[in-house]
Amino acid sequence: MAPSGSRSIKRSCQTVLYWIPVIFITLIVAWSYYAYVVQLCIESIDNIGQKIVYLLAYHVVFILFTWAYWQTIFTKPMNPLKEFHLSYSDKELLEREDRGESQQEILRRIAKDLPIYTRTMSGAIRFCDRCQLVKPDRCHHCSVCDKCILKMDHHCPWVNNCVGFSNYKFFMLFLAYSLLYCIFITATDLQYFIKFWTNGLPDTQAKFHIMFLFFAASMFSVSLASLFVYHCWLVCKNRSTLEAVRAPAFRHGADKNGFSLGLSKNFRQVFGDEMRYWPFPVYSSLGDGCSFPTCLVNQDPEQPTSPGHNPPPNKTHQFPAKPLRESQSRLLNSAPSWTENGGFNPNLSFHVQILVQP
């Protein structure tokens, strides 16, 4: 068999395997719908008013949960813009250079007009050999998707997708509504679960659905609660899962709080400015994913140490180099500014300058 045919079969098998966790979750949710709506509400609950309230509340949560899950799965991760990709001439120039320092000189020349502030831990320009591009801040290459993902958080097998800039809000809502879904089922099923053990339920198949529904919902609630709380903490700190494991490196060194703008601004960067869109899985995040406002917690060692001294104009340019969207500009310029601890800091500036490499 031709090598190309073998690779095609391998990719097809991998595609099928990657969808197995999603299919598993879908089957669990479909069964839970049948068990709750048919076996519990219709077959087991006698009070008509209680039955109507349970069904209405359940379907509201169910719709929001499935909507958020769908959006998380089928929203394509955003990739870096063409400005970050190497031109044909730059690729040839880079390939001809054998020495790492010479290659870094080429990459520094390419990156000097891009809104890039993070570096590798060794201080080098972050470059992706696979995609042949200079990585934007917070961008990482996903080995499963085989592409660079903007503000990559992690690759989630349960949604068969990369969680990043384009769908992180949807992922947060998916966690929130799936947790609410499980808690609602556990709370409303509890009294009938107790009746199961006290022989208060008719001896039908409904009693077994009610028992397993309670066990499944309560177990999923525990795991989802820990995951949801962790990601809420990440949103408050303006970090991704990857950045929580390894702090992003700047010119002055690694800084875990480099992208944090304070609790309110961190939250709005993910969920947007307009409150009416926060509960719904519709896109409302701020920014373009290629550039991010940053607060220098530790001063860049190449910047002047004198608090009243400004760097010479010919040595700096404004970050980011390309204009921000109006929503992101509001995020940067809105006042007052709040620190991580919730206190007002009148001296905190979110206009960051990058020293141009010579």
Which residue numbers are catalytic? Answer: 156
Tokens standing for residue 169: 């809000």
CA dihedral (27, 28, 30, 35) positive or negative? positive
Please state, in angstroms and rounded to a whole number, the distance separating the CA atoms of residues 224 and 209.
22
Strands of the chain, DSSP E: 127-128, 133-134, 140-142, 147-149, 154-156, 161-163, 249-250, 253-254, 316-318, 353-355
Residues 6+ apart with CB under 8 A from 154: 162, 163, 240, 241, 242
Please state, in angstroms and rounded to a whole number, the distance separating the CA atoms of residues 217 and 204.
21
Helix (H) or strand (E) holding 123: none
Name which of 180, 164, 179 is nearest 72 in CA terms: 164
Please state, in angstroms and rounded to a whole number, the distance separating the CA atoms of residues 142 and 70.
21
Q: What's the per-residue H, E or C state across 200-222?
A: CCCCCCHHHHHHHHHHHHHHHHH
